[in-house]
Amino acid sequence: TQLLEQSPQFLSIQEGENLTVYCNSSSVFSSLQWYRQEPGEGPVLLVTVVTGGEVKKLKRLTFQFGDARKDSSLHITAAQPGDTGLYLCAGVNNAGNMLTFGGGTRLMVKP
């Protein structure tokens, strides 16, 4: 079983601060997806990273896939209250037939 560990589990910051969320594993993934989940709703895909070392930007969010495709990070610049939510990473195994979710990072951005 491939495991994905996310850190930190909880993060509470003030509006305008920067933050980084980590997603780590000892296993290699063919690709990695990041989702955001708001209370009472299902997760919504933010981005998929495929190539080792790949960096993708989505407005103030920057996603990076590790060179060895075992880890990923999400950096948010100048966080806003609208960024509040549960951030989940999910890794796809090399066979492309199994998606493993991390435990999530719950982010609260205070105005």
Partner 1 sequence: NAGVTQTPKFRILKIGQSMTLQCAQDMNHNYMYWYRQDPGMGLKLIYYSVGAGITDKGEVPNGYNVSRSTTEDFPLRLELAAPSQTSVYFCASSHEGRGYSPLHFGNGTRLTVT
Rounded CA gap, 71 and 67, in Å?
8
| DSSP code string of 47-81 | EEE-STT-EEEETTEEEEE-TTSSEEEEEESS--G
Query: Applying CB under 8 A, which of residues 19, 22, 24, 103 lies at the interface with partner 1?
Result: 103
Distances (CA, A) of 68 to 11, 28, 45, 105: 27, 7, 23, 22
Least Å distance between CB 83 and partner 1? 19
Nearer to partner 1, 14 or 97 (CB): 97
- Asked whether position 101 contacts partner 1 by CB under 8 A, the answer is yes
Query: Applying CB under 8 A, which of residues 43, 61, 79, 107 lies at the interface with partner 1?
Result: 43
- CB-side neighbour CA atoms (13 Å) of 26: 2
* Region binding partner 1 by CB under 8 A among candidate stretches 14-22, 25-33, 59-67, 71-79: 25-33
Site of interaction with partner 1 (CB under 8 A)? 1, 4, 6, 9, 30-31, 33, 35, 40-45, 48, 50, 88, 90, 92, 96-99, 101-104
